[in-house]
Copies of this chain bind each other. A is one copy, B any other.
Amino acid sequence: MPTIVQKFGGTSVADPQRIMRCAARIVEARNAGNRVVVVVSAMGHTTDQLIGLAEQISGAPSPREMDMLMATGEQISVALMAMALHTLGCDAVSLTGAQAGIDTDAAHRKARISQIDRKQLQRILDSGAVPVVCGFQGISPNGDITTLGRGGSDTTAVALAAALDVAADGGICEIFTDVDGVYTADPRLVPNASKLRHISYEEMLELASMGAAVMHPRAVLFGEKFSVPIHVRHSQKPDLGTLIVPEEQIMEDIVVVGCALKQDLGRISLKALPRTPGIQAQIFEPISTANISVDDIVQTEFGDTTTIAFTVEHGDIADVKSICQALIGQLGRGDIDVEVGLAKISAVGTGMKSHSGVASRMFRALGEAGIAIHNITTSEIKISCIVDRQHGERGLQLVHDSFGLSAGDGTSSPMQSTGRGRR
Q: Contact residues of A with B, CB < 8 Å? A: 16-17, 19-20, 50, 53-54, 56-58, 61-62, 64-66, 68-69, 71-72, 75-76, 78-80, 82-84, 86-87, 93-94, 96, 99, 143-145
Contact = CB atoms under 8 A, between A and B. Distances in A.
A256 B57 CA distance: 46
Contact of A76 (B64, B72, B87, B143): B72
Nearest to A84: B57
A69 B84 CA distance: 13
A75 B68 contact: yes
B79 A68 contact: yes
B58 A99 contact: no
Contact of A94 (B54, B68, B82, B83): B68
A93 B108 CA distance: 14
Nearest to A61: B83
B83 A62 contact: yes
24 contacts: A16-B56, A19-B57, A53-B76, A53-B80, A54-B80, A57-B80, A57-B87, A58-B86, A58-B87, A61-B83, A62-B83, A62-B86, A65-B94, A66-B79, A68-B75, A68-B79, A68-B96, A69-B79, A69-B80, A71-B75, A72-B72, A75-B75, A96-B145, A99-B143
A54 B58 CA distance: 31
Contact of A78 (B20, B62, B68): B68
A357 B1 CA distance: 79
A194 to B, nearest CB: 38
A330 B173 CA distance: 61
A86 B76 CA distance: 26
List the number of copies, as a whole number.
2
A16 B145 CA distance: 22
A144 B143 CA distance: 16
7 A-B pairs with the lowest CB-CB distances in the bound complex, closest first: A16-B56, A69-B79, A72-B72, A68-B79, A58-B83, A61-B83, A65-B79
A99 B96 CA distance: 14
B79 A58 contact: no
A61 B87 CA distance: 8
Contact of A69 (B56, B69, B76, B145): B76
A93 B62 CA distance: 10
Contacts of A64: 93
Contacts of A57: 16, 19-20, 80, 83-84, 87
Contacts of A71: 75
A86 B50 CA distance: 18
A89 to B, nearest CB: 12
A79 to B, nearest CB: 4
Nearest to A68: B79
Contacts of A93: 64
Contacts of A20: 57
A285 B76 CA distance: 37
A64 B75 CA distance: 13
Contacts of A76: 50, 53, 69, 72
Given A16-B53, A65-B82, A96-B145, 4 more contacts: A57-B84, A58-B84, A69-B83, A72-B72
Nearest to A70: B79
A61 B94 CA distance: 13
A281 to B, nearest CB: 36
Contacts of A94: 65, 68
A421 B341 CA distance: 81
Contacts of A66: 79
A20 B83 CA distance: 35
A33 B286 CA distance: 45
Nearest to A144: B99
A130 to B, nearest CB: 12
B80 A62 contact: no
A254 to B, nearest CB: 44
A138 B82 CA distance: 20
